[in-house]
Amino acid sequence: MICNISDLQYKEVIDIADGTRYGYIGDVEIDAQNGTIESVIISGKPRWFGLLGREPDTVFPWSSITRFGEDLILVDGRQRRQEAKPDTKPRHP
């Protein structure tokens, strides 16, 4: 199956071992020198309607992907990592 990077955002990411549903791909990390996809990123869920920021992103290395389906991607969830985005909101003293 051939798909575009933009097609990945419509595929749900599910752990092959226990069926955990992580969500949908929000971004990818690309090694610009090699031209390879290094990992896929699931955006963290908003906390309290987004007013309290959001949960950390979940990052899966490309090697953790075990199967692509029509509407889902199966991954080995043991290889995931959590990654907090830097806080971009201005802080008041």
Where do the domains of the chain lie?
A: 5-83
Half-sphere exposure in the Cβ direction for 4 (13 Å, CA): 2
Over the stretch 38-80, which tens digit does the pLDDT of each residue have? Answer: 999 998 887 887 677 778 899 999 999 999 998 999 999 888 8
Fold of the CATH domain 5-83:
SH3 type barrels. (2.30.30)
Sign of the torsion formed by the C-alpha atoms of 82, 51, 24 and 16: positive
How far apart (Å, rounded) are the C-alpha atoms in residues 67 and 80? 16
Predicted TM-score (pTM) of the model is: 0.77
User: In angstroms, rounded to a whole number, what is the distance separating the alpha carbons of residues 2 and 21?
Assistant: 23
